């Protein structure tokens, strides 16, 4: 004699029915997807900022004109992206660094020269669908090696 098994109370008896657990998981995935969609570009831009600083550290090995390097760095940082203005709707550079806030110091010995680059910047990020803004502060503080490569000349 075959007995029919009944589902416990509170569980669906049919396959494919949506439970509260499924609804919570779908909602959690939607919130996580929204957070990644909004936050990932901000941190990706910060990664790009570090790459631009490293590029100018490499340029500083050959070029000795620090004023030209600093102005080029500030120009390239300002071109990385735009953040929306809150009230007037105008856009501003995502990485807006004032020349006075940029630390650019050559240091080290003649055998091991270094370049210290440091600055901070604020991001003003719009949150889509929520009509709100998020402000975040980022710091860059890098010590770059500016010595010339020695390709096996000393043996």
What does the block give as tokens for 154?
Answer: 């000393």
Concatenated DSSP letters for 15-47? TTPPPHHHHHHHHHHHHHHHHHHHHHHHHHHHH
Q: What is the pLDDT of residues 43-63, one digit of tens each?
A: 899 999 999 999 999 998 888
Q: Report pLDDT for 92.
A: 82
Bridge partners (DSSP) listed for residue 121: 138
d(CA 3, CA 58): 78
Q: What is the pLDDT of residues 5-50, one digit of tens each?
A: 665 665 555 667 778 888 899 899 988 888 888 788 888 999 999 9
Q: Whole-model pTM above 0.75?
A: no
d(CA 115, CA 60): 8
d(CA 42, CA 123): 8
């Amino acid at each position: 004699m075959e007995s029919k098994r009944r589902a416990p109370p509170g569980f669906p008896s049919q396959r494919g029915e949506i439970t509260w657990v499924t609804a919570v998981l779908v909602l959690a995935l939607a919130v996580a997807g929204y957070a990644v969609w909004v936050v990932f570009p901000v941190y990706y831009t910060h990664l790009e900022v570090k790459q631009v600083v490293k590029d100018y550290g490499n340029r500083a090995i050959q070029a000795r004109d620090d004023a030209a390097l600093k102005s080029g760095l500030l120009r390239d940082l300002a071109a990385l992206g735009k953040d929306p203005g809150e009230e007037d709707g105008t856009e501003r550079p995502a990485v807006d660094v004032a020349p006075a806030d940029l630390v650019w110091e050559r240091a080290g010995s003649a055998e091991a020269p270094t370049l210290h680059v440091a600055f901070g910047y604020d991001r003003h990020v719009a949150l889509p669908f929520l009509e709100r803004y998020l402000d975040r502060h980022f710091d860059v503080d890098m010590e770059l090696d500016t010595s010339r490569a020695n390709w096996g000349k000393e043996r």
